[in-house]
């Protein structure tokens, strides 16, 4: 064990640096896709998007990021396989972080639609299977994660479809869409606030040391949902409704629709916040999961199954994401946001609702999924409800292809780095 | 690390706006048919030729728009309406302006002069036919709201009412056309044979303008039925 203690500080330093780099990359890039739909539909300005993203990414990562971090840290590999060889975990996790960071850098510059989640999972499975042996991979867990990558876009699509259909039924296809938008808007916001806070309270808060009983959880979630709905109600009432002097029914309906969109633009601020929260809760793990694994291996000399993720690790990841957002993220949001003009607020609301719900649910169960791919599924769901003028299916093909390429690429790179580190340190 | 986002590339170019612009261009050209016929009746050759020129210009502009729209519709697009229906609507719209161009060409090329007693009814017939095109344009302009409502519910009923009005206008033009034909038949013996022939043709073509305007509406109805 001497060797571990000699290199301990170096390993911790490396893990922190690599983890921060990865979190920075996630903040610089991934967040853009989550926020861009709101900016694109003119719901919020880029500056507002940045502030919202920073606050809620941070909150999501810190309050609800622990579960997925646990999965990345120890759910993908068999702990017994590393017993007595903690340095293998350290090298492997460091290699995974390096591999994922590098692959993301390459892919981003090429404009390929790759996912941070897929890369890091591919990398960890890669080093474990080749560097240690196929028995070192928890194939059952990996299999169910891979399955969830298929189901999460589908689920988000279904939710977005249902939400959009309900907006049509309750608001658009009524004699007085504007009035109904005012009436039902806060209700939708209540559900956003309620579901998200319930899932977060149930699983996340114990990591920061707050405990509630079951009924208290429900009460707190209900209260938060109500507060969100109330804030929404007040904001919706402040929306400037443009009225038309024209008396023809066609002109009146048209102005009603545009006013409904104005209201949903305000409501989208809430789903955008939910998206940022969901993204933080799921994707921060990609950076801090391997970091946490290195830390616990250094400290205890094994892959510790019991010890929980220290909350300062989550904090570090959250800070990394916000730094990424502040240094490069705004540029990406600006670029992407101005490109999405086809998504009106009612559509954006539906898509973000479906995505946020799906991703937070995945975070709740500890499954690492790709926020962006889930969002793509949700957009498609709105498209199936005949809500979007045109969706380019070739892009869908590219996304499917990227799923298949990213896993082996992450794996190959991390295997290379693994043997490099092994050669350097042993 | 500034990325090209595939979220934004997921959205194809919306075909609705260009389709509406094309139809607006078509209607703009068709409106010149009224001054054309007026000038033909008063034998004002300069006005006839200027109206002809305007129609030809509109046809040309519509052609450019048509080609641009076709380029925007690759097979890989997933749209709320059938791609084939959309292209059919475009084709119908294009036929209208082509007919207008042919009518103007005939009037200019043959220096057409209508029989005294046909002049007023033919002008009214022309006005009504352009109104059919106007109604078709208004139906096409509803596509935005149809998309907004997801092609469902009240908005669909609203558009179907408008299509119904279009059908009614077209029906009227049919009756006017039949009456004009009948009048021309009675005059046949008193006119030059070639004039009779081309007057029939002029009446037919003008009637076709309204027919094709109606077809635009019925194509749209097919989209709603999907």
| Assigned token pair, B201 | 């043709």
Residues of B in contact with A375 (CB under 8 A): 7
Considering just the CA atoms, what is the radius of gyration of chain B in Å? 20
- Using CB atoms, pick whichever of A28, A113, A169 lies closest to residue B6: A113
Share of chain A above pLDDT 70, in %: 91
Q: Are A351 and A53 in contact (CB under 8 A)?
A: no
- Is B6 in Cβ contact with A390 (below 8 Å)? no
| Assigned token pair, B212 | 């094709």
The closest alpha carbon to B141, from A168, A345, A250, belongs to A250
Task: Summarize the confidence of residues B105-119 as an average pLDDT.
Answer: 92
Task: Summarize the confidence of residues A394-415 as an average pLDDT.
Answer: 87
- Is B16 in Cβ contact with A389 (below 8 Å)? yes
- Nearest-Cα residue of chain B relative to residue A385: B150
- Is B15 in Cβ contact with A335 (below 8 Å)? no
Residues of A in contact with B18 (CB under 8 A): none
How is A65-106 classified by DSSP, letter by letter? -HHHHHIIIIISB-GGGGTT-HHHHHHHHHHHHHHHHHHHHH
Residues of A in contact with B15 (CB under 8 A): 389-390
Report the gap between the CA of B4 and the closest CA in chain A (Å): 5
- Is B145 in Cβ contact with A253 (below 8 Å)? yes
**What pLDDT shows up at residue B41?**
92
- Is A40 in Cβ contact with B3 (below 8 Å)? no
- Nearest-Cα residue of chain B relative to residue A168: B149
Considering just the CA atoms, what is the radius of gyration of chain A in Å? 22
Contacts for B26 with CB less than 8 Å, ≥ 6 apart? B58, B62, B93, B94, B96, B97, B133, B137
Report the gap between the CA of A176 and the closest CA in chain B (Å): 11
Q: Are A272 and A44 in contact (CB under 8 A)?
A: yes
Which stretch of DSSP H or E encloses residue B127? helix B116-141
Q: Are B117 and B64 in contact (CB under 8 A)?
A: no
Report the gap between the CA of B16 and the closest CA in chain A (Å): 7
In tens, the pLDDT along A241-276 reads 776 555 566 666 777 888 898 899 889 889 989 999
Residues of B in contact with A108 (CB under 8 A): 1, 3
Q: Kindly state whether A140 is in contact with chain B, defined as any CB-CB distance less than 8 angstroms.
A: no
- Is A340 in Cβ contact with B11 (below 8 Å)? yes
In tens, the pLDDT along A359-389 reads 999 998 899 999 888 999 999 999 999 888 8
pLDDT of A303 over the 70 cut: no
Report how far apart, in Å, the C-alpha atoms of A201 and of each of A65, A207, A218, B72 are: 12, 10, 9, 48
Q: Are B59 and B98 in contact (CB under 8 A)?
A: yes
Which B residues 110-169 touch A at CB under 8 Å? 142, 144-145, 147-155, 158
Task: Summarize the confidence of residues A151-165 as an average pLDDT.
Answer: 96
Q: Kindly state whether A399 is in contact with chain B, defined as any CB-CB distance less than 8 angstroms.
A: yes
Complex ipTM value: 0.84
pLDDT bucket at A204, cuts 50 / 70 / 90: low
How many whole angstroms from its chain centre is CA A7? Answer: 34
In tens, the pLDDT along B162-193 reads 999 999 999 999 999 999 999 999 999 999 99
In tens, the pLDDT along B28-39 reads 999 999 999 999
């Amino acid at each position: 064990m001497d060797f571990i203690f000699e290199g301990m500080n170096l390993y911790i330093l490396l893990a922190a640096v690599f983890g921060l780099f990865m979190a920075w990359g996630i903040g610089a890039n991934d967040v853009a896709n989550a926020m861009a739909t709101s900016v694109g539909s003119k719901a919020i300005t880029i500056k507002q998007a940045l502030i919202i993203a920073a606050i809620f990414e941070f909150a999501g990562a810190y309050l609800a990021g622990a579960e997925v971090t646990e999965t990345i840290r120890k759910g993908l590999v068999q702990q017994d396989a590393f017993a007595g060889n903690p340095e293998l975990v350290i090298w492997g996790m460091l290699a995974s972080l390096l591999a994922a960071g590098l692959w993301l850098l390459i892919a981003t510059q090429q404009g390929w639609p790759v996912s941070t989640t897929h890369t890091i999972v591919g990398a960890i499975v890669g080093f474990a299977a080749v560097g240690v042996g196929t028995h070192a991979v928890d194939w059952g867990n990996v299999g169910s994660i891979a399955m969830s990558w298929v189901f999460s876009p589908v689920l988000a699509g279904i939710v977005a479809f249902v939400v959009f259909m309900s907006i049509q039924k309750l608001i658009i296809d009524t004699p007085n869409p504007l009035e109904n938008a005012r009436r039902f808007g806060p209700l939708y916001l209540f559900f956003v606030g309620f579901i998200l806070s319930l899932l977060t309270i149930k699983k996340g808060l114990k990591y920061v040391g707050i405990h509630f009983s079951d009924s208290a959880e429900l009460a707190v979630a209900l209260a938060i949902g109500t507060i969100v709905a109330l804030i929404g109600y007040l904001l919706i009432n402040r929306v400037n409704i443009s009225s038309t002097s024209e008396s023809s029914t066609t002109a009146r309906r048209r102005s009603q629709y545009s006013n409904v969109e104005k209201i949903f633009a305000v409501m989208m601020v809430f789903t955008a916040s939910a998206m940022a929260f969901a993204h933080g809760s799921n994707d921060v793990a990609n950076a801090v999961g391997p970091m946490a694994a290195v830390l616990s291996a250094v400290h205890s000399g094994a892959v510790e199954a019991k010890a929980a993720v220290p909350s300062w690790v989550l904090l570090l990841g959250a800070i990394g994401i916000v730094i990424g957002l502040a240094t490069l993220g705004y540029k990406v949001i600006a670029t992407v946001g101005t490109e999405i003009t086809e998504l009106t607020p009612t559509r954006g609301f539906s898509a973000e609702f479906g995505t946020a719900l799906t991703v937070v649910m995945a975070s709740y169960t500890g499954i690492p999924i790709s926020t962006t791919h889930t969002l793509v599924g949700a957009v498609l769901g709105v498209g199936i409800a005949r809500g979007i003028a045109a969706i380019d299916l070739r892009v869908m093909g590219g996304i499917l292809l990227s799923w298949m390429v990213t896993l082996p690429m992450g794996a190959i790179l991390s295997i290379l780095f693994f043997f490099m580190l092994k050669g350097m340190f042993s | 690390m500034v990325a090209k986002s595939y979220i934004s590339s997921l959205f194809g170019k919306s075909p609705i706006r260009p389709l509406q612009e094309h139809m607006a261009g078509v209607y703009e050209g068709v409106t010149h048919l009224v001054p054309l016929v007026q000038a033909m009746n008063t034998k004002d050759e300069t006005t006839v030729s200027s109206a002809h020129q305007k129609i030809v210009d509109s046809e040309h502009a519509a052609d450019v728009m048509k080609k641009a729209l076709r380029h925007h519709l690759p097979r890989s697009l997933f749209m709320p309406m059938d791609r084939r229906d959309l292209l059919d609507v475009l084709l119908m719209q294009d036929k209208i302006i082509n007919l207008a161009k042919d009518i103007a060409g005939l009037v200019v090329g043959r220096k057409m002069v209508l029989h005294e007693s046909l002049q007023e009814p033919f002008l009214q017939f022309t006005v009504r036919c352009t109104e059919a095109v106007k109604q078709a344009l208004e139906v096409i302009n509803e596509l935005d709201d149809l998309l907004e409502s997801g092609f469902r519910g009240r908005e669909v009923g609203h558009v179907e009412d408008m299509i119904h009005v279009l059908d009614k206008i077209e029906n009227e033009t049919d009756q006017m056309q039949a009456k004009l034909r009948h009048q021309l038949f009675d005059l046949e013996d008193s006119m030059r044979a070639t004039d009779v022939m081309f007057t029939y043709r002029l009446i037919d073509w003008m009637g076709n303008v309204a027919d094709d305007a109606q077809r635009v509406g019925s194509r749209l109805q097919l989209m709603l039925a999907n």
